[in-house]
Structure 1
């Protein structure tokens, strides 16, 4: 989306909407189909659904939104899209759309719910900025990111730092990472972001070249954790900003051997977010960019990082319903993991053990089952049946230190059990998923519950399934 006025002038002859906001029913935008549409910025689906529930004609809806009726018609028929950021901001506020459902941040200290996102980073240039950060291309936006603006509450930093200071930074990052794995991103997210800012301010201190390179990498690690916490809480824009910062800092640490692994893992985390938002094309582009970093970096990446890359490729292929390529990518990843020495993993990859590997494999098969369910029921059931064993092994293998990881995989397991017709086990697992997820400080698993509710629709007449869906609706609305 570009920032400017031309889009508004093209779509409306009026300065603004007839009145501010609509009486949107509570929980309206929490419907799975609308959450999916909003994540894709598919306003046509949203317009039609909202007009139906409020009994508005296209002309009345145009009067409310400040759009012309022909534009409303074109948007609903997918002949036109809302691409101007200023227009999206205005329409989202009028329609009372929660900013987080559009992938926008809602951090405190910014202006208004959705206007907070009229910034230098938008959905269209994210891939280009990721490529610039990864490849070391100088662009104005990255310079904007690189220099934190001074604030009155910035802590004082030492004039000179050494290895012990960088080690202390890493120790604190480890604490935040552990909290995130156990409880989700909500509890410590603000502290993790403040930690990143403090680490960045340390770049003003004097130090040796070796310490400087190590500091860049420590900042990248801290930014990576803060990004994941933001993603986990649905603050997608903030997550992207921190991932871009992590890429930029890791590239400046390219004399450190592990910088290549970190850059690839950051790009794959970005791809993870894209697939979560059902943007398979962006996920694949980021995975391809990670492949390019592997090929072009001065340092080789570890076998486990290459395995993680293969898994993401499998996820992207699975989400597109490509059966044979998905299974080939999974086989490659499985073989690589068998050759990897997981005991030497970098701090940001210490979670990768047998349970996580099983979860990655099972999630790919779940995505494949979901993608082909409408076109090849037999293939969907086969993929679901194969996923069940992997997901069960993962959930049983995660300990308390990875409670969030176990919880986030439960809805996928329940969906696969539904797909193969094991309703009692699916309902039991689904109930366990709700209990585990609502105990976390995490928003991301709620989207998995929505997908479970969608998978349950064909058997929603079953009383136990109906009860499960009702409880999911309550959990996601809260």
Structure 2
């Protein structure tokens, strides 16, 4: 049966993830690990392979969701850990620790996308431990910021702000203008969830000021996707959408920012683009533009295709519940809700 196949596949992925976390955790803690497939001499060429493949998987998640690459990413993390257990040159060992941190951070991102929040936390703590052991405070600070981003999705604004403060206290001197812009966008969204309108405006202004100084040239792979202008408008648009939940006068600002994000996003980052479209549909709903809200929601769900993202599925389900009471007001909403019920 298809259900049995899916369950079996999920168990295989879960075992791969748990094994990778265990192996990498032991390696970072200093326990020697080897494998029959590990080369006798580990060099920077092995590190380069890890880095290149990590970049491919990172791009896949932004385009198609994390499910398809969860198991191969876990296997790559395990390989990085066993290479670290065999490497002898200090430069190579440090580079492998950074690679482990990046892969664990990617694992956290994938787990978030799938909706496995416990696994996301475990991967994030491993990433932070590996970055700290490597002495890479900038990557460690970035990891803490990503933990803040996870908590904004979980609607934990107080914890989000605490994590952003912790990152700033430890690594502020190492953050680029793009890092600061991204962090301030997340801060704006946290303030929006807490209902602090004036602090949202201030944070958005600070983020835009920081972004005028951004030079993304040469940004590390783990930072590049977070320091784009599209991300600036996406996150601040989401913040104003949250404010519009209780005060519809903020909806127009949210709509304008999300349209700008979509214009900048392009069509390649399908999953991220669809998330922006869902935020836009929600903002349109709060603005009372019911037909347009239903139309945008339908466009977003029609574009899902082969995107395997639990995060996306949850957003669609939540938007369907929000729109259902308005189905009689607009044919486009009625059509969207009916399609989701049937699907």
Distance 1:394 1:251, change over 3 A: same
Q: What are the equivalent positions in structure 2 for 1:385-404 lying under 5 Å apart?
A: 385-404=252-271
**Taking structure 1 as reference, are residues 148 and 436 closer, same or farther at Cα in structure 2, changes over 3 Å only?**
farther
Counterpart residue number, 1:8: none
Contact (CA 8 Å) 2:13, 2:70: kept in 1 or not? Answer: no
Partner residue in 1 for 2:187: 313
The 3-state SS of whatever aligns with 2:45 is helix
The one of 318, 335, 338 equivalent to 2:209 is: 335
Unaligned runs of 5+ in 2: 1-9
Aligned residue for 2:59?
Answer: 178
Per-residue deviation, 1:440: 0.7
CA contact (8 A) 1:155 1:198 kept: no
Specify the alignment match of 2:3 in structure 1. Answer: none
3-state DSSP of counterpart to 1:440: coil
Report runs of 4+ in structure 1 exceeding 3 Å deviation: 106-111, 142-151, 472-475
| Structure 1: gaps spanning 5 or more residues | 1-105, 112-116, 121-141, 374-379
Q: How does 1:409-448 map to 2 (within 5 A)?
A: 409-448=276-315
Q: 2:170: which partner in 1?
A: 293
- State the shift of 1:322 in Å: 0.8
- The normalised TM-score by structure 1 is 0.63
Secondary structure at the residue paired with 2:268?
A: helix
CA distance in 1, matches of 2:30, 2:270: 36
Root-mean-square deviation (Å): 2.7
Question: Distance in 2 between the 1:262 and 1:474 partners?
Answer: 45
Matched, 1:470 2:338: yes
Matches of 2:160 and 2:324 in 1, distance apart?
Answer: 27
What's the CA shift string for 1:420-439, capped at 9, x where partnerless?
12122111101011112354
After superposition, what is the alpha-carbon deviation per residue over 1:173-196, rounded to whole angstroms, capped at 9, x for unaligned? 111112111111011111001101
Measured in 1, the distance between the counterparts of 2:238 and 2:58 equals 22
Q: Which has the higher contact order (CA 8 A, sep 6+)?
A: 2
Task: Tell me what 1:322 maps to.
Answer: 196
How much does 1:391 deviate? 0.8
User: Aligned-pair distance for 1:147?
Assistant: 6.8
The C-alpha deviation readout for 1:129-160, integer Å capped at 9, x for no partner, is: xxxxxxxxxxxxx7798478979xx5521232
Query: In the TM superposition, what are the counterparts of 1:23-422 in structure 2 within 5 Å?
Result: 107-108=11-12, 146=29, 156-254=37-135, 259-295=136-172, 300-351=174-225, 352-370=227-245, 373=246, 380-422=247-289
State the distance in 1 between where 2:33 and 2:76 align: 15
Q: Please identify the structure whose Cα radius of gyration is greater.
A: 1
Write the deviation string for residues 408-461 of structure 1: whole angstroms up to 9, x where unpaired.
111110011111121221111010111123541111012222332343255233
Structure with more helix by fraction: 2
Q: CA deviation at 1:284?
A: 2.6
- Relative to structure 1, is the Cα distance of residues 350 and 472 closer, same or farther in structure 2, using a 3 angstrom cutoff? same
Q: SS where residue 337 of structure 2 aligns?
A: helix
User: Aligned with 1:344: secondary structure?
Assistant: coil
Q: Would the alpha carbon gap of residues 145 and 214 (structure 1) be closer, same or farther in structure 2, given more than 3 Å must change?
A: closer
Superimposed CA distance per residue, residues 336-381 of structure 1 (whole angstroms, 9 cap, x where no aligned partner):
01111122321112223222222122111112222xx1xxxxxx22
Aligned-residue offset at 1:166: 0.9
Q: How many residues align?
A: 327
